[in-house]
Amino acid sequence: MDKWAKDAGLSVVLDIGNPQTPAYWWASAVDITAEAVRAYDSQYHTPPASKEQR
């Protein structure tokens, strides 16, 4: 899937047949998880979770 999607110039592959798993594949460039967590943590001044808490 990774090679095919990259060769096709895609950023995201969606599975519209299964609403429980709508994102089947995504390029790392569109993954905003780390940025969203940092923004949330900075807004509420919450330190990052320790490894034991994860």
In a domain, 53, yes or no: no
Total number of domains in the chain? 1
Q: Which of 7, 6, 26, 24 is nearest to 15 (CA)?
A: 24
Tell me the Cα Rg of the chain: 16
- Please state the separation of Cα 16 from the chain's center in Å: 18
pTM listed for this prediction: 0.54
Task: Find tokens 């599975």 and name the residue.
Answer: 15
pLDDT surpassing 90 at residue 6 = yes
Task: Please check whether residue 12 lies inside any domain of the structure.
Answer: yes
Res. 54 pLDDT band, cuts 50 70 90: low
Owning domain of residue 14: 2-44
**Mean pLDDT for the stretch of residues 16-29:** 85
SS3 46: coil
Q: What amino acid is encoded at 21 in this protein? A: T
Residue 16 lies in a domain: yes
In a domain, 54, yes or no: no
